Amino acid sequence: MKKLYGVIGDPIAHSLSPAMHNKEFKELGIDAHYHPFRIEGKDLKTAVEGMKVIGIDGFNVTIPHKTAIIPLLDKIDPLAGAIGAVNTVVRENGFFVGYNTDGAGFVESLKEDWKKDLAGERTLIIGAGGAAKAIYYTLLSIGVQRVDIANRTIQKAEALISGQPYDADSKALTLEEAEAKVGEYSLIIQTTSIGMAPELNKSPISLKGISASAFVSDIIYNPAESLFLKQARQKGAKTQNGLGMLVYQGALAFEKWTNVKPDAARMKRTLTNILG
Ligand code: ATR
- Mapped onto helix, strand or coil, the DSSP state of residue 194 is strand
Q: For residue 3, is it left (φ>0), alpha (ψ between -120 and 50) or beta?
A: beta
pTM reported for the whole predicted model: 0.96
pLDDT at 55: 95
pLDDT of residue 116: 86
| Confidence check: pLDDT of 274 > 90 | yes
Q: Which of 66, 133, 202, 230 is catalytic?
A: 66
Please report which confidence band the pLDDT of residue 103 belongs to, taking 50, 70 and 90 as the band edges.
very high
Compute the distance from residue 258 Cα to the ligand 1 centre, in Å.
34
Among 250, 266, 258, which residue's Cα sits nearest to residue 23? 266
Measured from CB, residues less than 6 Å from any atom of ligand 1 are 127-132, 151-153, 156, 191-194, 204
Distance 129 CA to ligand 1 centre (A): 6
> pLDDT by residue (tens digit) across 21-34?
999 999 999 999 99
The verdict on whether 66 is a catalytic residue reads yes
CA–centroid distance, 204 to ligand 1, in Å, is 10
Q: Name the closest-CA residue to atom 31, ligand 1.
A: 192
141-159 in b/e burial notation, b at 16+ Cβ within 10 A? beebbbbbbbbeebebbbb
Domains of the chain with bracketed CATH: 3-100+244-275 (3.40.50.10860), 103-241 (3.40.50.720)
Q: pLDDT grade, residue 245 (50/70/90)?
A: very high
pLDDT of residue 145: 87
pLDDT in tens, 164-221: 988 889 999 999 999 999 999 999 999 999 999 999 999 999 999 999 999 999 999 9
151 is in an annotated binding site: yes
100 is in an annotated binding site: no
* Distance of alpha carbon 44 from alpha carbon 166, whole angstroms: 32
Q: How far is the CA of 45 from the centre of ligand 1 (A)?
A: 27
Which whole number is the average pLDDT over 60-69? 97
Which residues does residue 125 pair with via DSSP β-bridges, in sequence order?
A: 149, 189
Nearest-atom number in ligand 1 for the CA of 127 is 14
In this prediction, residue 276 has a pLDDT band, given cuts at 50, 70 and 90, of confident
Side chain identity, residue 86: V
242 is in an annotated binding site: yes
Indicate which atom in ligand 1 lies nearest the CA of residue 156: 18
Mean pLDDT, the chain, integer: 97
H helix runs in the chain, sequence order? 17-28, 44-54, 78-83, 102-113, 130-141, 154-163, 175-180, 227-234, 243-258, 264-275
pLDDT digits 0-9 by tens, 4-24: 999 999 999 999 999 999 999
Q: How far is CA 190 from CA 156, 223, 226, in A?
A: 15, 14, 10
Candidates 133, 138, 152, 191: which one to mutate for ligand 1, based on the most atoms within 8 Å of Cβ? 152
Q: What angle do CA 156, 109, 121 make, to 5 degrees?
A: 60
Q: How far apart are CA 101 and CA 98, in angstroms?
A: 10
Residue 203 annotated as binding site: no
